[in-house]
Amino acid sequence: MALEGLFTRDHAVIWRWARSREAEPATGEETASGPASSMKVADGGSALRFNFPAVSRFRRITWQEWFEHFDRHHLTFVYDRTEPGHRPSARYRIVSAEEAGARIAASG
């Protein structure tokens, strides 16, 4: 997914986005709460994921752990705008705040 759409670091916006899609906070990396998953994912190192209904490939973590990692690594959540009358998209990307800022500046 290209870095297009909406950008946020607001926990409440991310939480509402996830809840509206029945997504649960997850990770593919080792953390204090458990081991890494066996899946290799090219994500630029964010380590954060969401598990969706019927697609739970990653280890579930708490929202607190998810947001602590998000803030500690200065990440930005990028997601598709939902058009009125359309089904909400589950497409998202988690990028460094630096990468997001450069992209926003370039689209100026």
The pLDDT value recorded for residue 83 is 72
**Is residue 96 assigned to a domain?**
no
**Is residue 105 assigned to a domain?**
no
**Is residue 108 assigned to a domain?**
no
Residue 108: pLDDT band with limits 50, 70, 90? low
The domain of 71 spans 1-31+44-87
**Is residue 8 assigned to a domain?**
yes
**Is residue 70 assigned to a domain?**
yes
pTM of the model: 0.77
Q: Based on the structure, what is the number of domains in the chain?
A: 1
**Is residue 18 assigned to a domain?**
yes
pLDDT single digits (tens) 52-95: 987 778 888 999 999 998 999 899 999 988 777 777 788 888 88
**Is residue 50 assigned to a domain?**
yes
Of 2, 6, 22, which Cα lies nearest the Cα of 77? 6
Please determine, for residue 102, whether its predicted confidence score (pLDDT) is greater than 60.
Answer: yes
CA-to-CA separations, 92 to 22, 71, 82, in angstroms, rounded: 14, 17, 12
pLDDT single digits (tens) 10-48: 999 999 999 999 999 998 765 556 555 555 554 555 688
